[in-house]
Each structure stands twice: as structure tokens, then as C-alpha cells.
Amino acid sequence: MACSIVQFCYFQDLQAARDFLFPQLREDAPSGAAPRDPGKSTNWEDDGWGAWEEAELPELEEEGSTCKTQKTSWLQDCVLSLSPNSDLMVIAREQKAVFLVPKWKHSDKGKEEMQFAVAWSGSLSVEEGEFVTSALCIPLASQKRSSTGRPDWTCIVVGFTSGYVRFYTESGVLLLAQLLNEDTVLQLKCRTYEIPRHPGVTEQNEELSILYPAAIVTIDGFSLFQSLRACRNQVAKAAASGSESIQPPPLAYKKWGLQDIDTITDHASIGVTTLSPFDQMKTASNIGGFNAAIKNSPPAMSQYITVGASPFTGFFYALEGSTQPLLSHVALAVASKLTSALFNAASGWLGWKSKHEEEAVPKQKPKVEPATPLAVRFGLPDSRRHGESICLSPCNTLAAVTDDFGRVILLDVARGIAVRMWKGYRDAQVGWAQIVEDLQERAPETADSAPFGSNQGPSRVAQFLVIYAPRRGILEVWSTQQGPRVGAFNVGKHCRLLYPGYKIMGLNNVTSQSWQPQTYQICLVDPVSGSVKTVNVPFHLALSDKKSERAKDMHLVKKLAALLRARPPVLDSIETEIKELILDIKYPATKTQALESILGSERLPFSCLRNVTQTVMDALKSQELESVDEGLLRFCASKLKLLHLYESVGQLNSRDFHSDTPFSDKDLAVLLRLDEKELLKLQALLEKYKQENTRPAVRFSDDKDGVLPVKTFLEYLEYEKDALSVKKISEEEHVALGSFFFWKCLHGESSTEDMCHALEAAGLSPQLLLSLLLSVWLSKERDILEKPRSVCCLHTTLTLLSKMKVAIDETWDSQSVSPWWQQMRLACIQSENNGAALLAAHVGHSVAVQISNHMTEKKFLQTVGADVEALTDSWEALSLDAEHWRLLLKQLEDCLLLQSLLHSGPRRPRVPPLQAEPLPRLSVKKLLEAGKGGIADSVAKWVFKQDLSPAVLKLANHDKDGENPDEPKEGSHSAFLQVAEAEADLGAIPELLCLAYEQFPCSLELDVLHAHCCWEYVVQWNRDPEEARFFARSIEHLKHVVNAHVQHGIALMLWNTFLVKRFSAAAYLMDKVGKSPKDRLCRRDVGMSDTAMTSFLGCCLDLLQTLMEADVGRDEMPAPVLDTEDAWLSAEGPTSIVELALEQKPVHYPLVQHHSVLCAVLSAVARFALKAVKPLALFDSKGKNAFFKDLTSIQLLPSGEMDPNFISVRQQFLLKVVSAAVQAQHSFPKDRAPSAEAATAPSEDQDWPALAVDLAQHLQVSEDVVRRHYVGELYSHGIDHLGEEATLQVHDKEVLASQLLVLSGQRLAHALLHTQSREGMELLARLPPTLCTWLKAMNPQDLQNPDVPITTTAKLVHRVIELLPENHGQYSLALHLLEAVDAVPMAPS
């Protein structure tokens, strides 16, 4: 056993702590931004990129590399402290700090491990400009008698540059603050109680020592412990009730002013020491001279050692009793600071700090007591050497000092001399490891010679010095004082070595004996791997080679390891050498370790492993019983049993065994107790499952099922109390072990009966064997489905296992559930390989019925004495287990069909396919835990992945309802192709959908399925709002929901969950910019592009209109009754979407209509890129206040007559919409607006003129004005046939005729005046003067399309004359115009 470094904890998110303490090192920050001047602008957009000269580029690269180095070495710049119990870690820098606590969590590999997670973070500074300089985590002992050895809580002590020392709880609450010296706190150190190892050792008191540049303050541990407890209790009471408590006792401390030393960087408080008489006389002579008086008893002194400069190391001695302890006033933080402290504790990573409470009170610094002068008695005067740190050993006899020359010096504390020096350790970090000898591990030979029989003497203690050299990235362990290096590890260059040097505060000589807390003496924090490691050092490394039998054993172990690594030339010779080596090892623990390494070797053959283990076993049996180690004997015996079992299984698997019994479908039906129809149904179901579930898998030539190396076999199994059990291994390893036992049996290549007898004889329980058998069966589904004969083999194996002694309890009653069959059903329920699970369930059901019938028959014959022949094979005993089996078979059939559907797809899939997550494999357990809506939710995810239209789902359901089994299904398939001819060939989807509808008539009821599809599509759209077609397809599914109650609830949930927040953002953005916003603004405020937002608003309009229709329809139909299939009544899980929809409150129809009007306005602005439109300005204050409120609430809406100014603005807007809509529909392609091409299907299909008329009704605008404008726009674009149709809807025909008369004049003016032809001029001369003047006043540029045939214009004039009454003022003008138009065609063109 050598030195080892062990990871015992990881960091959950160390990078987050780094980013909090070093904001400039965040990943998203630019590499060159960190070192810049804080006074300069940090906004990239404000920087002058063009102003950077080429000469600055190398500097930037250098800054970037500095930042990159800082990202890995940042921990070196932090104040770091770890509690000796490893229950709290503090990382602080400048004013910020992060508190981390360990939590047990599952790692990526599925194993539980301890991870440090952030418990609190924030700013600790109170005074302006003060920084953290030192920190300690001190665990405080519990005063309760029932304590288990864990500390009650951990106090965090923090020193600041201002001189304050503050004490905090684990949640960052300030308990008390002390200003004991007005200078920077350099170092905090703690000493806790230790039981003296020898009667002559002085018992040390607990204390907290604080180092200042010219002073040392020591606070008595007992006084500190009581004050901290009182402060914590008072803070807890104040937080709970706000009541004030008594003032805690003051702190007792001593303050020494260190003299005759230039600079101090670190210190060590040795404690109270008593000199020997000779040392007392020597010291008295040096200080007082020849005539110095000497006391009879040596005085007790407190010893302090400092490191720094001039002298390099200083030794100070303070006589006990020379000064009285000072009493400080405890600055308690309860009343005004409690609120801010608790708020700061809850602020998390934001780092908020509320200071207004403190600033409101004038700051008064407490009185600082003067220091008692203490001169240096002696030191190590080295003028060029500057000490950096000192670390005291646990036994207080040695200290390790580091200096700026890269040396580590070992000091003898009592004599004040350097006893050893290591060089080449620049920036070294040191710590100590004190190892106590384990008396149980001493060699038996040594134990026999110990005095007093079994007494082996006191445990010995060894000291090891641990040195971490960050420049070389190496961690070394040295035996002190003059011992060799016993361990070295490469650990990286950016770690921190943590050595607390104390344990739990608050213990005494009574309580410390019963406490055995788990503490780590020394820890290494690695920020690169995010782990915390500790160093394990065996005690025997402190012993010399000559006197250590263990050292000899370790040499033999190393020789054995080298032998196992080498390529063996001759197996016989290497086996002999291995036997000699392992028999020469004396220590039982080392011999066990050596045997484990031999059995774990992959190079040695099985025979060698068996022979070596047998040799060790024989050697143990030949010894006297008293000297044999029981642990080693049990280990050898258990390994031998495992090796014999491995050999037996291997021999059975290697036999040439083949069953020649023919096997037909009829035999399978009898075996599974199925009739012919049921068997055909099962085979058809499995065939569909195989077709849709076949996925390509890679198989290597050396992959052999049923083969397991002996090394792996020994790792998987272990003996416990003469019973063979499987260790905690992964699922893959479980399958490998099961394959080794049963794979050949399931293929009929090995004797199942012999195998079961061999495994039972080895001590494997039937429950364990059943678990292994099912794990193999359920994991090898592909191979099993290809070999139906394996079902017969499974039946045989399961029957044999069930007949074992402890498999099925003999007292089992048919009216209770058998644990044996419940175990098998549970495995089938949890399996995701539904085909294999269904076959296993059929086999289990068959065997269970067979055994149940046999047991019932036996009881029946015993009680009644009936004839055996009266009981036929078709008779089946009723039992509770049989009912469970039938339920499971139905559930597995359903799950199998659903799995086949979810893995089906079109033969020629669309390109590109939807980027959806792969569908998870189903199991009965997953469906039961998914709740009542789990089945529909799974199908909805599949529908989204295949992007099937709602019509496909609807048509499949109709085919299921009207399907005649005697007719062929070709018509159904052709109907599908008609629906989806533009999509792809649907393959087996229609047939599987029909089967799924039949299998799940309630869970896949069409409204339920459409509701889940609607929700799934909108969830996927919410993840990527740019995919507007997802939202559009969601609305399609919503419209296909027939029941108005479900449709109403789903629409309302969509609005509240996904839409209203984005919709309100779009409304405010449009109102702010007064037009259709640009892409950048849309992405910033709404979270999507401008084109996606146009589609979004169109879909929102469809949703609100659907919601209004559903609200009306709710009164006309009853609410649906949600049923569940009998097999799935036990499903428990989240409430289904449909159930939630039915629980929704009814909406307030006028409020929905109000939002619909706004949505139509926003959609029109975005669709046609209208400008100078503020949508919210179309509504008064009541209307604005009602927007974006809960649609189920009653809001105050506009009523009565509207202000004419509002009506005028609304009318202008509607006329703009009509003009833009007509232009977008009927303008020439070259003039088409870009937004029209980008519009999506809902916008293009929208009848905007009709919608504008509808909006006019809600906005109190005259509908006739909008209709007349629409007619005018159609004629202006030359769409006379549509204009003539639209004329029929206008009520005021007279006004319309006047408008069309002007339009006719503009067309004629364009034909006569703007063509400038000779014929046109002659015709103009013949016209009446009144008409000629009127035509010249016309402006043909107002026409959108002036090039209209004159015959069309003639029809328009005829239409105008029909509409105008004869007494109208413009009637004569119209007649003249008709004559002119009729004359134009006669002129040559």
C-alpha cells in the first residue's frame, strides 16, 4: 500500500463562482476587455474600432494571453478556506465571497458523489474600500448529548484590510464584528482542543489568533464559543419574532505588540509551554546575566513564532499571568443590520448589497485597547531571506517555513533551530498529515511477541510533510524529520493546498473522547478538473526498511505487479513464481491485496488463478487455527467457490447440446395457452413491431454473447454470509452476467436443467437468477424475435426456477399476490423492449397458470378426493395473480402497438425533416406515470415529428369508424394519398393509426388527439419562434377540435401561456415606432424576426376568432365525458391537457372581441407595412386599460358614442388597410411590395376588405364608407368585374355613383389628353365645352391602372347612369360623358 491521492468531492459549478468573483473572466466577455481602464467605456458599440493602430495589436495579444492564463490560475488570487469537516468552503476576493456546501448528487455516470454547490454569495465588506485578507471556517460542536459527532454549525471568520474581524453564519448573516486593532488583518489561525498523547504534554486551550503587521491578538476559545452561540441564537430569535434578547458575554482576548522585528507575513501560535530546569537556567542566564534569580517551578509561557524579515524567523514568549485579559464589547448585528443581512443572504449570484440602513446611522468606531509590548527573544537572523508562510505540525513540535528563495525549512519549535531544508520549491504551499498506526494491521508474528498477551502497546503516530510546488505542478509527501520522500503526484499547476490545522471548536477532555468526526487533514483543490482531493498516507511508510516487515511485503507486491505486467514466456514457470511470492508475504492485508491483483489480471489463464488461490487456501489451513487471519480465509474460500462456479458454467456452455424436437406454431400456442386466433393476432402484432422497430446496429466480429472473462466474473459476484450475491453493477454488466449464465440455454445450445441445478447449488437465490434471466431476455430483443424457439427455452428455464425451494412460498394463497410473479411483472412493466416483454409476460402467465393449477389441483384432491381425470387441461384456477397477468398482457399489447406507431414513418420522408428530439422508447411504467394524457401526448410528439396534417388524422379515424372487414382497404389508402399527395408516401402509417384508434378509443379520441397535437406544435414553436409554420399548424389542429368546451379551454391556455406576453410586446413596440417595426427591434422586444411576427399576429387573430366561436358554441353542446381504457385506469401522473382545458373559466366575450380588434389592427400594420399608424391611438383610455388583462375577467370597455376625432382616425386607418389589401392582391408583380412575398398562408388567405368592414362595425365607423372605398380601389386598379360585384353591397348608391363618375372622367382624360393623338384631339374639339373643361380638370395619376380598354370604361359610365337619379346635378354630365366614351371606339386608334 503506497501513498494515494483520492478525489472525495467535486464542484457543481465552479465556473459560476469564478465569474462572480472575476466578472472580467466571463466566457462571453471579450478577451481584451478585462485589462482595460475602468474609467473607459465598456460598450463595444461606442469604441472606435478604426482608431486601433497596428502597433497596438501585439499588446492586445499579450493581454489576451494574460487573461487566458488568469482563467486557469484565478484561484491563486483568492482567499480560500475549507472546514476540517469538509462541510463548508469559502472562496473570497476583494469584497465578494462565495460559500459552498457539499450535497450528494448523481453524476453523469449515474453514481452518487458529493458536490460542492453554492449556498450563498454576495459582498462582505461594510467599510468603504476594505478588502478580505483572510478567512477561516470553524465548525462548532453541538451541546446536545445525542449528537453523532457532526458539528452543530460552522462559523465563517473573515479578516479585512480595515482591521475588522467579522463572524458570519453559513447563510451569510453577520453575527458580530470586532475591531481589535486599527491595521490590516494579515492572517487568521485557530487552535482547537486535542487530547494530550502523553501525561507530560501540556493541555492546550482553544484560541483564535489574529495577526496584524505589528501585533498579535489571541481570543480565548471558550469565550468565543459562548459569544458565537449567543449571537446566533439572538439573530435566530430576532428573525423569527423580532424580539430583543440579552446581550451576549464580551470576548476575552490578549493583545501583544511585537517589537524588534521589521516585517511580519505569517505567524504560528504554539500554545502554552513549560521549560525544563536546564532550559530555564540557560534562558535566565542569557536574559538576566550571572546574578539572575531562578524560580523553583518553571513558569508557563505562550510561545509565538513569526516569519518575515529581520529576523527571518522570530520567537516570542509571553509569560502566563503577566497581563490580564482584555474584555471587548460585542458589536451585535441584530436590529438594523438583520434585514439587510438576510436580504444579502437571499440575493444569490446577483450580489446585491443594501447599505442604506448602515449609512443612516453615523459610524462610530469602537474603542481600541493598546497592545502589551512583547520583545523578540531570539530568531534566525538572515538579512537576505524573507519568510512567506509558516505551518505548524499537529503535534506542535515542528514547523515548516517557506521563503522567497524557493526553500522549505523545517524548524524544531522547542529548540528554535532549522533541522532540514528543501530547495527548488518556489511559491510552495505546505501542510501536514498525522497518521496513527492501526494496531489491527500489525503482523501476526509481531502480535504474538507483544507483552501482556493480546495487548499490542499504544498506537504510534507518524508525521508527514506535504509540499505542493505549483511551478512544477507536483505534490510531494516527505517523512519527517529526516525521512525520505514517500510519495509524489502530478496534480497540475493551478491547485491550492488547504491545511486547516484545527478540528471542531467547543470540545473538552470528556466530550472529545466520544466524538469521532470525519475530518480531512489536508486537501487539494483543483480548479481545472473541478475536484477536491485528499492525500492518504499509510503509516508503514514512516518505518525504516530494516525494521518493517510491511516494507518487505510491499517490495514483494511491487515485484508481483511487475511480473503480472510482463509478457509471460512460460505459464508453468510464472505460476510457480507467483505462488512463491504470495506465500512469502506475511501481513494478511497485504496478502489479500496481492491475491486481488492476481485475480484481477487479464493475462493469467483460469487454471493459474484457480491453482494460486488453492495454494493460498491450503497454506492457511496448514497453519494453527489461532494464527490464521479469518478475513483472508473467508476471502480465499469465497474466491474458490466463485472459480468453481465459473468452471462449471463454462463446461456446461461448451458442451455440444442440441434439441432435435420439432417446434411448430401449434406447439407455441399450447405452450402459451393461446388459441389459434389469439396466436395469429400476437404474431401479426410482433411482425408489425419488427418492421417498424428495426434500426441498424453495429455488430463486431469479436462480440460473443454468453462469454465472460473470469476477471469480470469475479468483479460482479461476491459471497456474503455463505450466500452468493451480485454487486452493485450497471445494467450492461447485469446483462453480461446473465448472458454468461443463460444465453446458451435460451438458444437451446446448453442443458437448462443442469445449468439451473449448478447455479442453485452455488448459492444463487432464485430471485437473483430470475432477475438475470429477464435482463438477458429483455435486452436481446432483436435476437429473440428472430428465433421463436427461444420462447420454449424461456418457458423451460422459468419453470425450473419457479420450482426451486424459496421461489414461490408454499403458503401462497391464490387470493394474494405472489412476490415471485410480481418481480417478473415489474421487470416487464419497466422494460422499453416491448416485444420481448410481451413474450416474457405470455410465458410467465403460462407458467404461473400451470403452477397455480397444479397447486389448486393438489389441494382439491386432498380435500374432496375427486378423480384426477375429472380435471381437464382446459381448466384454469382463479387467482389474483392471473388477473394481474391478464392486465399486464393487455397493457403490453397496447404499448407494443403504440411503439410500432411511434417508430413508423413515410417510405420517402420529407427533406429536410423536422428538427425534433428523437422520440423516447415507451414502457408500461412510463405510460402509467405519464397520467391520463400520456398516450395522446406520445402520439402528438410523433405527429409533430412526421408533420402530419390534421386531415390525415381525421381521415384515419373515419376509416376506422366505417371500415368493413370484408372489403379491401385500398380505398382507405387511396384516400390518404389524396390528402397527402404533396407530402410523401405514408407507408404503414394509415393502417397503424387505425389500429391505434381501435386499441385506444378513449385516449386517442379525435378531440383529445387534436388538443395534444395543438399543444405540442405550439410548444415547439415557442422553442423556436422563427418556425411560424408550427404555430399555424397548431391553430389548424385547434380548429379541428369539435367539442367547443375543449376548444375553448385549449385556446385560452395557449393565449395565457405562450401568446399574451409576446402579443403585448408587439403592440407596445408598434405603438412606439408608429409603423411596422424593423427586424432588429422585433428580435429585441418580441423575440422573433419581422416576418415571423407578421405570421404570429395573423395566427393570434385566428386563435381569438376561434376562441369567440368556441365561447358561443359552449352553450349549444354538453361538456365531454373523459373516459379511460380499463387497462389504463391505474395511470397516475400530471393532469392531462384536456382535463386542464375543461377546468378553465369561461371567457368574457366582449373582452376577447376587444383583443381581436387590436390583433386585426396589428396584423394589418405588419402585413402591409403601413406607416404613420399608432395602433393603441385608435382606442380611448378605457380601451387601452382593458388590453392584455385576463380574458376571463370583467373589464370596463368603451361604450356609447365615440369622440369624432377617434372615429376619423379609425376611418383613415381602415381606408389605408383596404387600399393596401387591394394593391397587394391586384398590383403588377414588379410593383408588389416585398412584404407580400414574405407573408404566410394565414395572411394571404385572409379577406382583408371583408375584415375591414367587420372592424368598421366594432370601431363605430360607417361600413358604407369602407365598402365605397373598396369599390373605388377596385375600379382604380382596373378590376371592373370585381368592382361591379362589390357595388351590390353599397347602400348609398348615389354617393358611389358620384365617385365612379370622377373615376370614369379620369380614365377618359387619360385616353384623350395624355395620349396626344390626332384623333383624340379632334374628338376633344367636338365635345361640349362643359365636358371638355371638366375633363381637363381631371388628374389621371390618381388611377392605379389608367390603361383600361375604353369599352370597359363605357360599361362603367353606363353603370354610373343607372345608379344616378335623373334629377341629380351630375346626371347631364354623365350623359355627355357617355356620348364621348361611345365616340372614342369609332376613332381609329
What per-residue confidence (pLDDT) applies to 360? 41
The residue-averaged pLDDT of 591-619 equals 89
Rg (CA), the chain: 45
**Res. 832: pLDDT tops 80:** yes
Q: Helix (H, G, I), strand (E, B), or coil: what is residue 1192? A: coil
Among 106-110, 363-367, 587-591, whose mean pLDDT is lowest?
A: 106-110
The residue-averaged pLDDT of 773-779 equals 92
Q: H helices of 605-751, where?
A: 606-622, 630-654, 665-672, 676-693, 710-716, 731-746
The residue-averaged pLDDT of 1258-1280 equals 90
The residue-averaged pLDDT of 1026-1050 equals 94
**Res. 1389: pLDDT tops 50:** no
What per-residue confidence (pLDDT) applies to 904? 81
pLDDT tens-digit map of 918-950: 788 899 999 999 999 999 999 999 999 888 888
* Alpha carbon separation from 761 to 724, 728, 790, 1144 (Å, rounded): 10, 23, 25, 64
Max mean pLDDT range (110-119, 829-838, 1349-1358):
829-838
What per-residue confidence (pLDDT) applies to 291? 82
Q: Helix (H, G, I), strand (E, B), or coil: what is residue 1286? A: helix
**Res. 429: pLDDT tops 60:** yes
Distance CA 251, CA 1220 (A): 83
**Res. 1239: pLDDT tops 60:** no
φ, ψ dihedrals at 363, nearest 5°: -80, 130
Higher pLDDT, 996 or 58: 996
φ, ψ dihedrals at 1209, nearest 5°: -65, -40
Q: Quick check: bond before 1146 cis, omega within 30?
A: no
The pTM assigned to this predicted structure is 0.65
Distance CA 453, CA 735 (A): 52
What per-residue confidence (pLDDT) applies to 1213? 92
* Residue 472 exposed, middle or buried by CB count within 10 Å (0-12, 13-18, 19+): middle
Report residue 864's pLDDT band, with 50, 70 and 90 as the boundaries. Answer: low
Among 12-16, 73-77, 567-571, 1343-1347, whose mean pLDDT is lowest?
A: 567-571
What per-residue confidence (pLDDT) applies to 1284? 87
DSSP 289-338: -TT----SSPPEEEEEEEEEESSSEEEEEEETTSSPPEEE--EE--HHHH
Give Dmax (Cα) for the chain. 153
Beta strand 174-179 with 187-191 is unpaired
The residue-averaged pLDDT of 339-367 equals 44
Report residue 40's pLDDT band, with 50, 70 and 90 as the boundaries. Answer: very low
Distance CA 864, CA 459 (A): 75
**Res. 736: pLDDT tops 70:** yes
The residue-averaged pLDDT of 406-430 equals 94
**Residues in a beta bridge with 1042:** none
What per-residue confidence (pLDDT) applies to 814? 64
* Alpha carbon separation from 1169 to 83, 458, 575, 837, 1270 (Å, rounded): 65, 92, 89, 60, 19
The identity of residue 506, as a single letter, is: G
What per-residue confidence (pLDDT) applies to 914? 55
Q: Which residues contact 481 (CB under 8 A, 6 or more apart)?
A: 398, 410, 419, 420
1016 Rama sector, left if φ>0, alpha if ψ -120 to 50, beta otherwise? alpha
What per-residue confidence (pLDDT) applies to 347? 36
pLDDT tens-digit map of 1379-1388: 888 777 544 4
What per-residue confidence (pLDDT) applies to 697? 47
**Res. 992: pLDDT tops 50:** yes
Q: H helices of 694-729, where?
A: 710-716
Report residue 1155's pLDDT band, with 50, 70 and 90 as the boundaries. Answer: very high
Higher pLDDT, 1235 or 630: 630
Cell triple for 16:
459560476
Cell triple for 1019:
410548444
What per-residue confidence (pLDDT) applies to 440? 57
Beta strand 496-498 with 523-526 is antiparallel
Indicate the DSSP class of residue 1059. I
Higher pLDDT, 121 or 704: 121
pLDDT tens-digit map of 49-92: 333 333 333 333 344 455 556 677 888 899 999 999 888 999 99
Distance CA 1362, CA 927 (A): 72
Question: How far from chain centre, in Å, is Cα 454?
Answer: 55
**Res. 47: pLDDT tops 50:** no
Report residue 628's pLDDT band, with 50, 70 and 90 as the boundaries. Answer: confident
Q: Write down how long the chain is.
A: 1389
pLDDT > 90: percent of the chain? 36
**Res. 980: pLDDT tops 80:** no
Report residue 913's pLDDT band, with 50, 70 and 90 as the boundaries. Answer: very low
Question: How far from chain centre, in Å, is Cα 813?
Answer: 47
Higher pLDDT, 130 or 459: 130
Q: Helix (H, G, I), strand (E, B), or coil: what is residue 534? A: strand
Distance CA 164, CA 185 (A): 7
* Alpha carbon separation from 50 to 57, 59, 470, 1134 (Å, rounded): 13, 17, 42, 58
Query: Which among 205, 194, 208, 116 has a CA at the least distance from the CA of 156?
Result: 208
**Res. 45: pLDDT tops 70:** no
Report residue 1185's pLDDT band, with 50, 70 and 90 as the boundaries. Answer: very high
**Residues in a beta bridge with 488:** 476
Which sign does the torsion angle of CA 831, 835, 838, 844 carry? Answer: negative
The residue-averaged pLDDT of 962-985 equals 46
**Res. 35: pLDDT tops 60:** no
Q: Which residues contact 1319 (CB under 8 A, 6 or more apart)?
A: 1387, 1388, 1389
The residue-averaged pLDDT of 1050-1058 equals 95
pLDDT tens-digit map of 85-115: 888 999 999 999 999 999 888 766 667 788 8
Distance CA 237, CA 757 (A): 68
Are 1080 and 1028 spatial neighbours (Cβ–Cβ below 8 Å)? no
DSSP 251-262: EEEEEEEEES-S
- Round the average pLDDT of the chain to a whole number and report it: 81
pLDDT tens-digit map of 225-254: 989 988 888 888 887 776 655 466 678 899
Are 1344 and 1371 spatial neighbours (Cβ–Cβ below 8 Å)? no
Q: Helix (H, G, I), strand (E, B), or coil: what is residue 121? A: strand
Are 934 and 924 spatial neighbours (Cβ–Cβ below 8 Å)? no
Question: How far from chain centre, in Å, is Cα 551?
Answer: 48
Are 1249 and 1218 spatial neighbours (Cβ–Cβ below 8 Å)? yes
Report residue 148's pLDDT band, with 50, 70 and 90 as the boundaries. Answer: low
φ, ψ dihedrals at 315, nearest 5°: -110, 125
- Burial annotation 134-150 (CB, 10 A radius, 16+ → b, else e): bbbbbbbbbeeeeeeee
Distance CA 1093, CA 1028 (A): 8
**Res. 442: pLDDT tops 70:** no
Distance CA 1273, CA 1263 (A): 15
What per-residue confidence (pLDDT) applies to 202? 77
Are 431 and 523 spatial neighbours (Cβ–Cβ below 8 Å)? no
Cell triple for 298:
518553571
What per-residue confidence (pLDDT) applies to 336? 41
What per-residue confidence (pLDDT) applies to 472? 92
26 Rama sector, left if φ>0, alpha if ψ -120 to 50, beta otherwise? beta
Q: Which residues contact 533 (CB under 8 A, 6 or more apart)?
A: 5, 6, 7, 8, 491, 523, 524, 526
**Helix 1371-1383 and helix 1350-1363, axial crossing angle in degrees, nearest 10:** 160
**Res. 1237: pLDDT tops 80:** no
**Res. 354: pLDDT tops 70:** no
pLDDT > 70: percent of the chain? 81
Dihedral in degrees, nearest 10, Cα atoms 556, 557, 561, 564 = 70
**Res. 262: pLDDT tops 50:** yes
The residue-averaged pLDDT of 1223-1251 equals 58
Distance CA 1039, CA 813 (A): 55
